[in-house]
């Protein structure tokens, strides 16, 4: 490589980094001027976040089931390589699971869809264009929420989606700090410790319990639902705080990330007892094989499907 070429590459890198830093400073600044949002009253005003998402790009996604295509807005690819990167290059993320959930939702129009850990909204946006009229989308990281909101606007599905800007936790309305868990993936974070609310820190999230969403469920006349939950080892809070919701709603199908949480025995056993006591069985998504080993750490799929005993057909749809 020539000296000059190398020089221009480092200039480009330098400018790029500067750009990102300025973006983050803007974001921190806008965060200071934010307003509180209500759980059901969707979202804060996206103009506050425009600076962070200026590097975002909204893309039309891949056509699934020969019928459904939607819009997803992505972050700057460098900061979110796997999800945004995959959407930019292939127009889809987790195609197998998204397609499967679309099959369920398109055949069972009465089901609401809880997208817990919506990230930038791939599942949410596909579900909304499939005709699911009650998509409850829970996401705690504001830059993500803003992107979901942009995409909802572009697809004109505001009526179908309730955005809940919160993190699922065992207490309502406390603040938690986030902790980055994957390099170059600012959007995939663990919940860290409880903190005092501090407006100068953008990596703080406000919490809800799952049962806190019951008023939304009553108001929208929801009686049946399916769930996708992928919240970085916090999945057990669904069980710890969802007793009333699971009693009130018929929830035949829950897709849950398992690969990470299974390493934490207290959480994994809690989840397993919760579901088995309610007559759910764990399936491996791609094969629909029942995970029959007693040792759940041997359930080796990234996700598992918890399916109510007489709904096994939902796996093969
Ligand atoms: C968004 O925020 C701006 C400035 O804070 C305000 O003037 C505007 O009314 C808000 N829009 C909505 C839809 O809340
Ligand atoms: C909530 O979860 C945190 C973190 O796992 C734990 O320290 C705390 O004791 C829990 N609180 C309740 C009320 O269960
Ligand atoms: C808020 O956060 C800032 C910077 O992160 C820190 O300097 C300050 O002490 C915090 N304030 C409180 C009340 O925790
Ligand atoms: C689980 O199921 C597989 C095939 O369905 C069978 O070969 C295996 O013995 C079963 N394992 C247990 C522990 O029941």
pLDDT tens digits, one per residue of 240-271: 999 999 999 999 999 999 999 999 999 999 99
Please name the residue whose Cα sits nearest to atom 9 of ligand 2: 170
Average pLDDT score over residue span 221-239? 96
Judge contact between 234 and 241, C-beta under 8 A. no
Q: What integer pLDDT is reported at residue 192 of this predicted model? A: 63
Mean pLDDT over 191-212 rounds to: 75
| Nearest CA owner, ligand 1 atom 13 | 45
CATH architecture under which domain 3-316 falls: 3-Layer(aba) Sandwich (3.40)
Backbone angles phi, psi at 114, to 5 degrees: -95, 120
Q: Judge contact between 131 and 106, C-beta under 8 A.
A: yes
pLDDT at 2: 66
Q: Which atom of ligand 3 is nearest to the CA of 199?
A: 1
Count the Cβ atoms, other than its own, within 10 Å of residue 251: 21
Residue 201: what pLDDT?
62
Give me the residue label for tokens 């400073």. Answer: 25
Supply 120's token pair.
């930038």
- Which residues contact ligand 4 via a Cβ below 6 A? 292-293
Q: Hey, which residues does 114 pair with through a beta bridge?
A: 136, 227
HSE of 71, CA atoms in CB hemisphere, 13 A: 15
Q: Which residues line ligand 2 (CB under 6 A)?
A: 170-171
pLDDT exceeds 70 at position 27: no
263-309 tens-digit pLDDT: 999 999 999 999 999 999 999 998 999 998 889 999 998 999 999 99
Q: How many degrees, rounded to 5, is the angle at CA 201 between CA 28 and CA 261?
A: 115
Which of 167, 170, 176 should be mutated for ligand 2, with most atoms under 8 A from CB? 170
Looking at residue 34, what is its pLDDT? 40
């Amino acid at each position: 490589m020539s000296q000059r070429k190398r020089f221009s590459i480092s200039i480009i890198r330098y400018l790029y980094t500067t750009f990102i830093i300025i973006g983050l400073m803007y974001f921190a600044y806008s965060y200071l001027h934010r307003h509180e949002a209500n759980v059901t009253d969707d979202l804060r005003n996206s103009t506050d976040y425009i600076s962070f998402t200026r590097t975002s790009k909204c893309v039309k996604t891949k056509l699934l089931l020969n019928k459904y295509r939607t819009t997803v807005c992505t972050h700057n690819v460098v900061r979110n390589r796997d999800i945004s990167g995959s959407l930019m290059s292939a127009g889809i993320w987790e195609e197998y699971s998204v397609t499967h959930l679309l099959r369920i939702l398109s055949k069972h129009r009465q089901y609401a869809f809880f997208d817990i850990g919506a990230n930038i909204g791939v599942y949410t946006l596909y579900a909304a264009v499939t005709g699911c009229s009650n998509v409850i989308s829970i996401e705690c990281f504001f830059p993500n929420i803003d992107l979901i909101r942009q995409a909802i606007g572009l697809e004109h599905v505001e009526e179908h989606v309730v955005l809940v800007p919160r993190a699922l936790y065992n207490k309502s309305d406390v603040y938690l700090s986030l902790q980055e868990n994957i390099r170059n993936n600012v959007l995939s974070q663990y919940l860290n410790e409880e903190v005092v609310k501090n407006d100068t820190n953008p990596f703080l999230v406000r919490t809800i319990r799952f049962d806190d969403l019951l008023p939304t469920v009553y108001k929208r006349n929801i009686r049946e639902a399916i769930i996708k939950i992928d919240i970085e080892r916090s999945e057990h809070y669904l069980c710890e705080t969802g007793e009333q919701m699971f009693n009130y709603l018929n929830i035949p199908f829950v897709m849950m990330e398992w690969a990470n949480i299974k390493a934490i025995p207290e959480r994994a056993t809690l989840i397993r007892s919760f579901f088995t006591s309610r007559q759910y069985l764990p399936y491996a998504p791609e094969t629909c094989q029942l995970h029959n080993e007693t040792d759940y750490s041997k359930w080796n799929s990234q996700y598992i499907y918890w399916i109510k005993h007489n709904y096994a057909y939902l796996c093969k749809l």
